[in-house]
Amino acid sequence: MYECALCSPTVVLDLSQNQRILEHAAAHILHDPKVERTTEPCGLCLRPAPLCQFFLKKGKGANRTLKIDKYTGCPIKPSFSYRVASESSASSPCSNVPIACPLCPEKDVPAVWKYNMKDHIRNVHKTATLSNHEYLWKLSNFEIMEMKNIWAKRHNVPVKRPKRSKAPPLVVSDMYRSRIPSQRYWFLYFYIVNVCSFWILFQRG
């Protein structure tokens, strides 16, 4: 579990649900006035750059899609699917993932989170024309509306319920069950007690 440092009351996030953490942090980046966008906050833990750095590489196979190669500094392990997280959808509207800045000349520079790219270019590449690179951070109307909804409901974090056990119920054999003795055995018990009592009295007399 991970506690959001900016939420009050505290919101606890499930580390096994990276996509939900991405959405929660992204909602802060877009709508929280306490977040300073010029610091390029991390898309997972919201700490300012360069405390958290993410590096990309192309995967193997025919598609050779991008994926996170390595990361440093971030307390949250990026275990999300890069391909799924980078595409806005009904089940996962947030598309904030680390992307490569086309204006950074060095090869081994950290990636920039998509929602921070506009501020990155404005602050780091001051001579660049923003309109020429708007495609890097432009969001669809659907994503804009869905992220507003996520921000409005940020304190209603669903709890992941434990799965029900599929193990068969425990069956206790009849021979181990506790039973009340039948009438026949009670009668035999009282008969033996009475005989013994009579025998003791007879011996004393």
Cα 116 from Cα 100, distance rounded (Å): 12
**pLDDT, tens digit only, all 205 positions of the chain:** 888 989 988 899 999 899 999 999 999 999 999 999 999 999 999 999 999 999 998 877 666 788 898 999 999 999 999 999 999 999 999 999 999 999 998 778 999 999 999 999 999 999 999 999 999 999 999 999 999 999 999 888 655 555 565 655 555 555 544 444 445 554 565 556 565 665 565 565 5
One-letter amino acid identity for 55?
A: F
End-to-end CA distance of the chain: 81
In angstroms, rounded to a whole number, what is the distance separating the alpha carbons of residues 143 and 90? Answer: 9
18, two tokens:
């990276």
pLDDT score for 176: 46
CA–CA gap between residue 35 and residue 50 (Å, rounded): 15
Phi/psi of residue 18, each to 5°? -60, -35
Integer Cα distance of 64 and 132 in angstroms:
26
Q: If DSSP codes are grouped into helix, strand and coil, which group holds residue 185?
A: helix
**CB atoms < 10 A from the CB of 199, how many?**
10
Query: pTM score, two decimals?
Result: 0.73
| Token digits of residue 194 | 């009475």
The per-residue pLDDT for 163 is 54
Sequence-ordered list of residues with C-beta below 8 angstroms from that of 190, at least 6 positions apart, any chain: none
Residue 60, number of CB atoms within 10 A of its CB = 9
Helix (H, G, I), strand (E, B) or coil at 113: strand
| Angle between helices 141-152 and 18-31 in degrees, nearest 10 | 100
pLDDT at 155: 87
Q: What span, in angstroms and rounded, lies between the C-alpha atoms of 37 and 112? A: 12
**Residues forming beta bridges with residue 123, ordered by sequence position:** none
DSSP code, position 116: G
